[in-house]
Structures are given as C-alpha cells and as structure tokens.
Amino acid sequence: MRLNGKKIILGITGSIAAYKAAILLRLLAKEGAEVQVVITPAGKEFITPVTLSALSGKPVISEFFGVSDGTWHSHVDLGLWADAMVIAPATAASLGKMANGIADNMLITTYLSAKCPVFIAPAMDLDMFVHPTTQKNLETLASFGNIILEPGEGVLASGLYGKGRMEEPEKIVETLVHFFESKKKLLNKTFLVTAGPTYEKIDPVRFIGNYSSGKMGFALAEALASQGAKVILVSGPVSLQLNHPLVETIFVESAAEMYEVCSACFDRCDGAIMSAAVADFTPAAPANQKVKRGKERWNLELEPTRDIAAELGRRKKEGQLLVGFALETTNELENARQKLVGKNLDLIVLNSLNDPGAGFGVDTNKISILDRYNNIAEFGLKSKKSVAADIVEKIITLIGQASNPAGN
C-alpha cells in the first residue's frame, strides 16, 4: 500500500491504449490510492465508464454537469483535491489542447486547474508521435513542469513498429511511488516516540495508572513514518496497534521500563517526542502477594519516578530535537514554559484539560505549540491525526532551520 491516502486524478483520453488505463487504475487502487477518473468524450468510445467506476469505487466524471442529476462538477475543486494527476493515455489532440489551453472538455479544464504535479503518458501512432507539432507540445508541457512518461517502442495498434506505446501501467505506478517517496521530508531520520499511560504496580493485581489512551502518540508515530522517518514507538499498556513498516513498537508497563528503553534508544535518534503520560510516583515497595482487605487504613508509600524527558534533555546533543507535552489544568502557558526550559526541550505541545474535546481518551485535541523563542502557535480543535500532522510539520520546519540557519 505504497500510495496509501494519496488522491489521484486519472485522466483518460480517446486512444486504443485506454484499456491499459483500467489496469493502471486497478494497480493504483491496490496501492491504497483514492482515484477519481475523468474521461474525455472520445475516451468513452474506447472504454466504458462502468468498468472504471467499478474499479475506482467512484462515479466517473466526463461532462461539466452530472448526466443523471444535473449537478455541476467543479474542475477547480478537483484540481485542488488531488495529490497528483496522471493523464494516461494522452492523445496527440489532448496534448495539443493542454499545451495551448483549449479547455473544451472536463479533462482539460481539470488539467488547467490542477495545483498538483501532472504526469502525462502519451500514446499514439509513431508518425504522430515524431511529428514536430506533437514534439513541440510535449516540450511546452515539460516546460510547465509536467512530467512526461515517455512512450515505449513496439508494435502499435496500426500494426506498425515504432515509438508511441503508452508506458506500461506497472512502470507508471513505480514512477508515482518513487515521486511521493522523494517528497518525504524525514527520510533517513529516526524518531523516538513515547505513548500511552504507565502502570505502577501496587501488588500482583493492582496498579496506579491514568486515563491516557495512547491515541496521540500512535498518531504521531504514523505521521512521522508517513514522512519517511523510522520510528521507535515506546508505549505503555494501550489497546492500539500500528502496522507500518517504518514503525517498531516496544510495549512497556511501568515508568521505569519506559525509562530503560528510551535511554537505550535515544542516542541513535534524531529526535524524540514524549507524549506518554508517565506516572510521576510509583509504589516504593510493591507487595509480592495480593494485599487482603481487613485493614483499618492502608497507607501506600510512593516514591518519584525518573523524568524521562528531563533525562533525554540532559543528554541531548547538537542536532537532536526533543519535543514534550504538557497537559495542564491551571496556569497553562506559564507551566508549559517552565517545562520547556526545565527539561531542555525544543518544543512543548500544550493541551489544556479545560478545552472541551481535548485531552485523554477522545479522538480530538486542541493544542498550542511553544518554542524556545517564546513563539506560540495555536491550533483549533482537530482530530488527533491532524494534530499529529501539525506537530510533525513544525518539527520539519525546525529541522530545516537548524540545517540552514541563515535561511539560504
């Protein structure tokens, strides 16, 4: 699923190679991409929209208005929606229209509105392909930043042998995968992320815990991995799991175990995000046997745990980034700032328990990010996945500034 979550417009024009677009669509869907097919009127003569809508799971767009309900198909919205547009096959006529802005069908208007990278896979007979008009149009399109997927040589539909066969669907998919991979901003970086609560043993059947669900930490691990980072996710007991090839999850129970694992991993990491709700106190002498009822009163002696974030802050080397969380109920900004400085963090993410929809257990969060220069970035109430993406964006900006302090 190397294109998971990617939104792709597949443009199909009127060439016999349109049958290959169905294979391409199938492969894109298999890689996890969400595909919207836009087909020209001539394209429909070569492949039926029924096949394409069945493969994409979405109605195919061809006209400016929906045929059945008369709704307006907005090429502008489509152009903004997509992460990439692939026009395969692209006929000589469509190349000419695209190069010259002749927006007389839904596909060309969508092309002109697209804000995303556009991949073009020409398909035509060899003489049409080598004609100076076609070559000039391709040059023009390449000069706009479009990526031309050169056609291959072989026997063409006309029976002639030469250059003009649409690039194979498998190769187009590989090109797209490679393109998105190269855009990832945390390639070759390794991050440590802590998540969830810790359980501090009282006796074999009881513990001191907290309400942390681990959702924020797991969302952060996924957001880092989606930018190409390797992630060591150290989690307390939660009912979540993450299957991502770049994420190694290590489950621990207590604050002491979390400390050991983090301490062993931190030196080989480029950064760490401490989102776990680590217990601050642990029973000084957990009982080996279950504590029985019948006592008048039970005083449990607690001793402080080690502060993992503060310890990593002490050990932090140049180039390592440390991000902490602060969950506060009073004096939020002041307390968060103190933790930022006291633990030698680079960023602290503040979430207030006073904000409805923020904090433990829920799927949403509302955060502010404070840096060492007293900048505060405030965000609205969002899903924890979007919050994670915002935090990771901020980390990427910080890494960029550190590697280019002069801003060149």
Q: Which residues bind ligand CTP (CB under 6 A)?
A: 194, 255, 274, 276, 278, 280, 305, 307-309, 324-327, 339
CB of 275 to ligand CTP, least distance (A): 6
Q: How would you classify the pairing of strands 281-283 and 302-304?
A: antiparallel
CB of 339 to ligand CTP, least distance (A): 5
Among residues 194 and 227, whose Cβ is nearest to ligand CTP? Answer: 194
Look up residue 328 and give its amino acid: E
- Identify which of residues 97 and 384 has a Cβ nearer to ligand CTP in the complex: 384
Q: Which of 100, 146, 210, 374 is catalytic?
A: 210
Answer left, alpha or beta for residue 57, where phi above 0 means left and psi between -120 and 50 means alpha: left
Q: How far is the CB of 346 from ligand CTP (least distance, A)?
A: 12
| Secondary structure of the chain in HEC code, one letter for each residue | CCCCCCEEEEEECCCCCHHHHHHHHHHHHHCCCEEEEEECCCHHHCCCHHHHHHHHCCCCECCCECCCCCCECCHHHHHHHCCEEEEEEECHHHHHHHHHCCCCCHHHHHHHHCCCCEEEEECCCHHHHHCHHHHHHHHHHHHCCCEECCCEEEECCCCCEEEEECCCHHHHHHHHHHHHHHHCCCCCCEEEEEECECCEEEECCEEECCCCCCHHHHHHHHHHHHCCCEEEEEECCCCCCCCCCCEEEEECCCHHHHHHHHHHHHHHCCEEEECCECCCEEECCCCCCCCCCCCCCCCCCEEECCCHHHHHHHHCCCCCEEEEEEEECCCHHHHHHHHHHHCCCCEEEEEECCCCCCCCCCCEECEEEEECCCCEEECCCEEHHHHHHHHHHHHHHHHHHHHCCCCC
Nearer of residues 255 and 395 to ligand CTP, judged by Cβ: 255
Report, in Å, the least distance between residue 170 CB and ligand CTP.
45
Min dist. Cβ of residue 372 to ligand CTP (A): 15
Measured from the CB atom, the residue of 62 and 194 that comes closer to ligand CTP is: 194
- CB closer to ligand CTP out of 49 and 313: 313
Sign of the C-alpha dihedral computed for residues 293, 299, 303 and 304 taken in this order: positive
Could you tell me which residues are beta bridge partners of residue 149? none
For 176, the token pair is 């797209």
* Angle in degrees, 0-180, between the axes of helices 92-100 and 132-143, rounded to the nearest 10: 50
Supply 41's token pair.
């009127």
Residue 210 annotated as catalytic: yes
**242/13 Cα distance (integer angstroms):** 40
Active site residues: 210
